[in-house]
Structures are given as C-alpha cells and as structure tokens.
C-alpha cells in the first residue's frame, strides 16, 4: 500500500511540474508552430517562390550496346559502356551542353559567356550525379541515362544535346581504344608466330617433352587473335554500330521542392519543441529545488570555490 502511494505521489509530482510550467510547455510549441509556418509557407510567397509545387519531370534515354566477343574485350582497357559512363561524368563534356540550354523557366542557374569556371563548378556539384545519373544493366547490355528538371522542354533539349555530344566524343575515344587493342593483338600474334616457328624447328625430343601441347595451344591462340583483329577492324570501320539510342521515356515523379515536405516539417518542428519544453520544465524545476535547499547550495558553493 505504501509503495502504491509513493508511486501516486511521484506521478502527481511529475504532473505538478508540467502544470507549474504550463506556459512554457504550451507556449514554446505554439511559438515554434507560428515561426515554422511563416518560414515554410509565408516566406516563399513573399519572395515569389514556391506558391505551388512544380512537377518534377524525369527524362530517360536508353543506350543499347551490341555484344562484343570476350576475346576482343580482353584487349580493351575500358569497355564501350564504361567509356560512355566516363563521358557522362566529364564536366568538360556536360558543361558546354548545359550552358547551351535556356534554364530560366526551370529555376536552374544560367551562366554568361566567360564564366566557364563557375559553370563547371556548378555542373560538377549540382548536375553530375545529382540531376544527371546513369545506370548500367549488364544482362540487358543497356545504359539508362536519366535527367531531372521542372521544365520538360529544357530537360529534353539538354539530354538530346548531351547525347549528341557523347556520341561525338565516344567515336574519338573508342577509336583510340581500338587502335590500342589492335596493337596488343598484333603483338600477341607476333609472339605466337615466333613460338610456332621455334616449335617447328625444334627436335623430336623437344616436341615429345611437351612441345606438342604447346603447338596446339599456340595454334588456338593464333586463330583467336587473328579473328579478334578482324573484329577490331570491323569496329574501327563502323564505330557507330557499337550502341544505339532508344526513344525517350518520360517518367513523372513527385515534386522535389520544399512544398512537398512542408506539412511534415511543421509537425516535426512542433513535436520537437514540445519535447524540448517538457525537458526544460523539469530542468528548471530541479534548479528551483536545488536553490531552495540550503545544503545543496552550500555543496555547490564549496565545489565552485574549490581549486
């Protein structure tokens, strides 16, 4: 019975603290609610901002890559899709295309001629990897290029221009890659031919000691390297057939502007203020109790003066 009475007294004490500081417990959340509402709803209207949340459009284009024999890929430092991915992440490729599009209606930054440094810095921080993304699918051999904006026309123009630029840059980069691969395949052919000549002039004893298996392997490598050089020659003659671009696909997502999350932010701010007010009430009540206790004050005074 005494334990139950002690619990009831403790609960009453807790409620009493909240009642004593009711102005703080109720007033702080209300004040925060008013300030948050003005900031989230009033300020955008005053500055001419997001009166209504704009719809975010996602423009997607898909690159479909033709399969290349594994024996040929072995000569590459980078596969074709990796070259395209590198170009999509190259600010020197993306920035000029971005600057050629009118972004005024999309709420994105525009740059005057001569501000190349600022343009590249902005594109590197706010466009590449943020609004401009890509995703490689190995089973389908497709590279999905995606761009987000609130202006469908500007997004289309940017992505179309970017893909034209990527195609032009890719032709040059892939030609360099094919030249390097052709040199590597030619070097391998010379090495295999040298090995075959050596085995051909070797004695019977040398052949029976393991040369026969060496001949068969060398012939196999010679054949595959010869075929690989033929494939490389075909690719060099027609680089454009390495990948094709599908039709545009527009996916409309929800708004990414602040209007979408304003109610949630308001509720979170009010609840946080309420919890903080309750916590602060108990802290203030404890301070009041300590100040009323002479022994506690004396202990604190001695601790303060102690060196």
pLDDT of the residue at 85 = 95
CA separation for the pair 145, 127 (Å, rounded): 13
Mean pLDDT in each 10-residue stretch from start to end of the chain (307 residues)? 52 82 89 86 59 70 89 87 94 92 75 83 90 92 90 88 91 89 86 77 51 66 81 84 80 53 82 91 85 77 70
Question: Which residue's entry shows tokens 């940017």?
Answer: 158
Predicted pLDDT of residue 208: 45
Distance CA 13, CA 227 (A): 89
What pLDDT, on the 0 to 100 scale, is given for residue 246? Answer: 81
Secondary element (H or E) of residue 236 = helix 212-237
Distance CA 26, CA 47 (A): 31
Q: Can you count the helices (H) and strands (E) in the chain?
A: 12, 5
CA-based torsion, 70, 75, 77, 82: positive or negative: negative
The count of other CB atoms within 10 Å of the CB of residue 175 is 13
End-to-end CA distance of the chain: 48
pLDDT at 225: 79
Query: What local confidence, expressed as pLDDT, does residue 194 receive?
Result: 81
Task: Enumerate the domain spans of the chain.
Answer: 2-51+257-286, 56-253
pLDDT for 302 equals 75
Contact indicator for 143, 126 with CB cutoff of 8 Å: no
């Amino acid at each position: 019975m005494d334990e139950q009475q002690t619990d009831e007294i403790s609960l009453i004490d807790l409620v009493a603290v909240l009642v004593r500081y009711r102005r703080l417990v109720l007033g702080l959340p209300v004040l925060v609610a008013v300030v948050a509402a003005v900031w989230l709803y009033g300020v955008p209207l005053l500055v001419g901002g997001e009166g209504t949340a704009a719809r975010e459009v996602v423009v997607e284009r898909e690159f479909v890559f033709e399969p290349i024999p594994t024996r040929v890929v072995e000569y590459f430092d980078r596969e074709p899709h990796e070259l395209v991915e590198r170009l999509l992440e190259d600010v020197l490729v993306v920035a000029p295309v971005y600057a050629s599009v009118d972004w005024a209606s999309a709420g994105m930054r525009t740059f005057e001629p001569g501000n190349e440094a600022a343009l590249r810095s902005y594109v590197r921080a706010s466009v590449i990897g943020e609004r401009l993304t890509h995703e490689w699918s190995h089973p389908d051999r497709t590279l999905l290029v995606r761009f987000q904006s609130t202006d469908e026309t500007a997004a289309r123009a940017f992505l179309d221009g970017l893909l034209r630029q990527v195609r032009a840059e890719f032709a040059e980069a892939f030609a360099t890659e094919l030249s390097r691969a052709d040199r590597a395949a030619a070097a391998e052919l010379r090495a295999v031919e040298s090995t075959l000549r050596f085995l051909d002039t070797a004695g019977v004893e040398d052949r029976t000691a393991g040369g026969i298996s060496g001949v068969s392997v060398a012939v196999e490598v010679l054949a595959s390297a010869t075929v690989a050089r033929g494939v490389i020659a075909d690719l060099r003659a027609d680089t454009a057939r390495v990948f094709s671009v599908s039709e545009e696909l527009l996916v409309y997502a929800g708004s990414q502007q602040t209007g979408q999350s304003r109610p949630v932010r308001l509720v979170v701010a009010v609840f946080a203020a309420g919890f903080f007010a309750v916590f602060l009430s108990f802290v203030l009540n404890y301070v009041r109790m300590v100040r009323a206790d002479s022994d506690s004050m004396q202990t604190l005074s001695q601790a303060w003066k102690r060196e």
